[in-house]
Copies of this chain bind each other. A is one copy, B any other.
Amino acid sequence: MTVRVGIVGASGYTGAELVRLVVGHPELQLEYVGAREKAGQRLGDVLPATEGIASLCDRRLEAFEPQSAGELAARVEVVFTALPHAASARAGQALLEAGIRVVDLSADFRLTSAAVYEKWYGEHPAKALLGRAVYGLPELHRAELHDARLIAAPGCYPTSSILPLAPLLSAGLVEPSGLVIDSKSGVSGAGRSAAPNTHFPETSEGMRAYKVAGTHRHLPEIEQELSRAAKLPVTVVFTPHLAPFSRGILTTAYARAMRGTTAEQCREAAREQYREGLVTVLGEGRVPDTLWVRGSARAHVAYALDERAGVVVAMCAIDNLAKGASAQAIQALNVCLGHPDGLGLPQVGAFP
């Protein structure tokens, strides 16, 4: 029996990707599409990719207000919330109280500490829920996800940073100090709002870091999960970069190898960790490429050992909107509902 779902914030990029993926999912039925600023508009006008599909394009985006969450309960069992932070928390709280399962794609429920949240985002509007949310990285939080009522879909940079490093830290193959994470993101990660720094002529042929030296909001999320893997507090240097492509993140991470660690041991630890889930561990001599996971729910990770320097180079490629956001949100819901991780999700990237 299919599950009726809604999307709040359908006009942004993660919302658009949710529409694409839910429509292709055999066990999910899209019953509700809500928005804030674009409420009232035809979905086909907001997302022309839906034009011509009778059941989609002529729908109007419904105005979502937290106070009307109760009425939604009659229509849907699950809602994906993809709103800016704080707004998403308020929406999630109202939906949960109305008995609706929530998969939130904002940062609002990812951090377990209200104090840390406040430092990076300001006052949390629904602190009490922090302890109830499950971090929706199924490869690392599988058991907690079963029948979870509130799932916090991970950020894109954290997904690409945690996946390659967590198995090494859990297995004690690398030192937990001195970690350097250098990530290169496509521009869709900046969202759908036009801005000078994402204007085509200022992005094409441009390559730049931003929010360097510990100032990006995804940092605490990365450290939270890596500390959990390492079982001790971990501090990382994290540098996000904007690169001239649309979809994808490539993360290149550097960790000091413990004495005797080999690249094959790293691959083994990752294969073991990722026996279940949607993470591919590439073989010796292979490197991940965002090109190969475009549109796919899978992550590709790979490892190399720089013997001269005693450093493990851990790499990961994801589609930031898929495994880094919407596909992972559905994967987490799949696990929550008892389905296989990849049910209904594209796993072969659209190459080229």
Interface residues, chain A, with chain B CB atoms under 8 Å away: 13, 16-17, 19-20, 23-24, 26, 47-53, 56, 178, 180, 182, 184, 186-188, 192-196, 198-210, 212-214, 235-237, 239, 241, 243-248, 250, 252, 254, 278-282, 286-296, 298, 300, 304-309, 311, 313, 315, 317, 346-352
A204 touches B309 (CB 8 A): no
- Stoichiometry (number of copies): 4
- Chain B contacts for A26, CB-based, 8 A: 26
Partner of A52, one of B24, B206, B243, B280: B280
C-alpha spacing A320/B239, complex, angstroms: 22
A184 touches B347 (CB 8 A): no
In the complex with contacts A194-B196, A351-B20, A290-B241 CB distance below 8 A: no
- Chain B contacts for A239, CB-based, 8 A: 252, 313
B184 touches A184 (CB 8 A): yes
- Chain B contacts for A48, CB-based, 8 A: 282, 286, 289, 292, 300
Partner of A237, one of B248, B294, B309: B309
A208 touches B288 (CB 8 A): yes
User: Among A280, A286, A300, which residue has the most Cβ atoms of chain B within 10 A?
Assistant: A280
C-alpha spacing A17/B349, complex, angstroms: 9
C-alpha spacing A208/B53, complex, angstroms: 21
Extra pairs beyond A49-B293, A56-B348, A200-B246 (17, CB < 8 Å): A17-B351, A20-B346, A48-B300, A51-B292, A52-B298, A53-B347, A178-B309, A184-B207, A184-B243, A188-B352, A194-B194, A199-B199, A201-B352, A208-B290, A209-B315, A244-B244, A247-B352
C-alpha spacing A199/B351, complex, angstroms: 13
- Chain B contacts for A287, CB-based, 8 A: 208-210, 212
A180 touches B311 (CB 8 A): yes
B308 touches A204 (CB 8 A): no
C-alpha spacing A200/B80, complex, angstroms: 26
- Chain B contacts for A199, CB-based, 8 A: 192-195, 198-200
Nearest-Cβ distance from residue A168 to partner chain B, whole angstroms: 15
Nearest-Cβ distance from residue A80 to partner chain B, whole angstroms: 16
User: Among A237, A278, A291, A293, which residue has the most Cβ atoms of chain B within 10 A?
Assistant: A291
Which B residue sits closest to A342, measured CB to CB?
Answer: B53
C-alpha spacing A16/B192, complex, angstroms: 27
A207 touches B351 (CB 8 A): no
B348 touches A50 (CB 8 A): yes
- Chain B contacts for A305, CB-based, 8 A: 213
C-alpha spacing A192/B182, complex, angstroms: 29
- Chain B contacts for A243, CB-based, 8 A: 184, 207, 243-245
B252 touches A290 (CB 8 A): no
B350 touches A350 (CB 8 A): yes
A24 touches B346 (CB 8 A): yes
B292 touches A212 (CB 8 A): no
